[in-house]
Amino acid sequence: MATALTVLLVISPFRRPAETALSPSSVVAGSPAISRASGAPQTSDPLPPTAPIIDAVEPNTLSLEARKALVLARLRDWEEQDDAELRPQRMQELEALLDGTNLFAMVQELPPNLMDYAFALPLLHERMMSDPRAAADWMQSHTNIAEAHVFTLVHDWGQKNREELREYLAGLPEGDWKQKAMVAASGEVMSDNPVEAIVWAEQLSPGERQTGLLGMATLDWARRDPEAAAQWVSRVDDPALQEQLVGSLTVGYADTDPMQAADCALQLLRPGAVLDRSLAEIAWTWAMRDPLTAVVWVAQFPEGPARQMALGNVLGIWGNRDGAAALAWIENLPPGPLQTEAASDLLATLPAGEFTMP
């Protein structure tokens, strides 16, 4: 444990003066449906919205344009009248309408809000996985494809052949598509391989999205191997990014040793939003183990955002686990802002009228 803390402490730009540190170690859709296909017999009774259109017309007899219009009409109808029980039947109908067509050409014509239906089809999934590179090239050329569908492609491709996916990603030229693909790749491996997630996230343009992905990966890496994660963070050149990552590092390290992680945050991070957020998240992790020790530590904080967030996190957990014990601790506090703040936080976690607050 001490090794990781020692490594962190060498990140000198964020070390706070000793006299200002607060050490915890002192604490013990759309248009109406088409009801009749062209050429079908007309009657005075409307076609029920749940009846398969393929009962009324054989899809293969329609022109491409007619089939596109039919698909669009049915999807709009389903969007307006969503029914979970009818979804399997509707998916079968949609597959029948799309079978034998240039599937990608049909899907790319759909409005973005209706594409989810098509991407849920096993038929489309099979077509994309038969040639993931071609599917990726298709997505690259159509900017109306939602990022969620890019993520699905990258995830499924990684499950099928991760080396082939890595080769494809490594060869992408700079541009918007590379940014989308790297976001998807980083997110896809985040839970299994935070180091690889960092590799892909580092290729993103600087900004909130890159910082967020690097922060999540650093946090997860610190849970698994805090020393290695700390060494990587110490080599980050951008001071603002490094500060964010130090915060993520201390939060991840709290899974191993919340007291030492808190010491680290207080010594390395400058006063401000990153420190406040890190302390609040460390307090949450600490409370999952020992809410009393965590709340006693938080009670030492001066009044301000860090105490407000951390106290809310701790009492949210403690109140749900043992509201009576949390209330007893609050009642023993001296009257003042801390007691009032703690009582308000506890009250927010309890059923109305369960306890009378001090």
> Would you list the DSSP string of 179-212?
HHHHHHHHHHHTTT-HHHHHHHHTTSPSSHHHHH
Domain end point (choices 91, 114, 130)? 130
Question: Are 151 and 181 a contacting pair, CB within 8 Å?
Answer: no
Q: Is residue 282 included in any domain, yes or no?
A: yes
User: Is the model more confident about 238 or about 64?
Assistant: 238
Please calculate the CA angle 9-12-13 and round it to the nearest 5 degrees. 135
> What pLDDT band is residue 256 in, cutting at 50, 70 and 90?
very high
pLDDT tier at 77, thresholds 50, 70, 90: confident
Alpha-carbon span 63 to 53, nearest angstrom: 15
Cα(98)–Cα(102) distance, integer angstroms: 8
Last residue of a domain, one of 130, 159, 187: 130
Confidence category of residue 307, pLDDT binned at 50, 70, 90:
very high
Q: What is the DSSP letter of 254?
A: T
- Mean pLDDT for the stretch of residues 100-115: 78
pLDDT 10s digits, 11-40: 445 544 444 334 444 443 333 333 333 444
Domain count, the chain: 2
As given in the structure block, the two tokens for residue 290 are: 């020992």
pLDDT at 109 over 80: no
**CA distances from residue 236 to 59, 173, 182, 202, 239 in whole angstroms, order as listed:** 58, 24, 19, 11, 8
Instruction: Look up the domain containing 77 and give its range.
Output: 49-130
Q: What is the structure's pLDDT at 357?
A: 52
For residue 341, tell me if it sits in a domain: yes
> What is the pLDDT, as a whole number, of residue 68?
77
Under the banding of pLDDT at 50, 70 and 90, the label for residue 53 is very low
Residue 244 in this model has a pLDDT that exceeds 80: yes
Residue 38 lies in a domain: no
Q: Which two tokens stand for residue 257?
A: 């040793």
Higher pLDDT: 114 or 126? It is 126
- Place 167 in a pLDDT band, splitting at 50, 70 and 90: very high
How far apart are the C-alpha atoms of 99 and 199, rounded to whole Å?
A: 39
pLDDT of residue 33: 38
The verdict on residue 260 lying in a domain is no
pLDDT confidence bin for 305, thresholds 50/70/90: very high
Specify the DSSP class assigned to residue 86. G
Query: Which are the contacts of 192, defined by CB distance < 8 A and separation ≥ 6?
Result: none
Residue 273 confidence (pLDDT) above 90: yes
Task: Please give the Cα distance from 272 to 269 (Å, whole number).
Answer: 8
Give residue 19's pLDDT. 41
Cα dist from 259 to 25, 27, 250, whole Å: 7, 9, 10
The verdict on residue 229 lying in a domain is no
Whose tokens are 């009657």? That residue is 43
Is residue 217 assigned to a domain? no
Residues of the chain above pLDDT 90, percent:
57
Query: Within a domain: residue 117?
Result: yes
Please report whether residue 63 resides in a domain: yes
The reported pTM is 0.72
Domain boundary residue, one of 83, 105, 130: 130
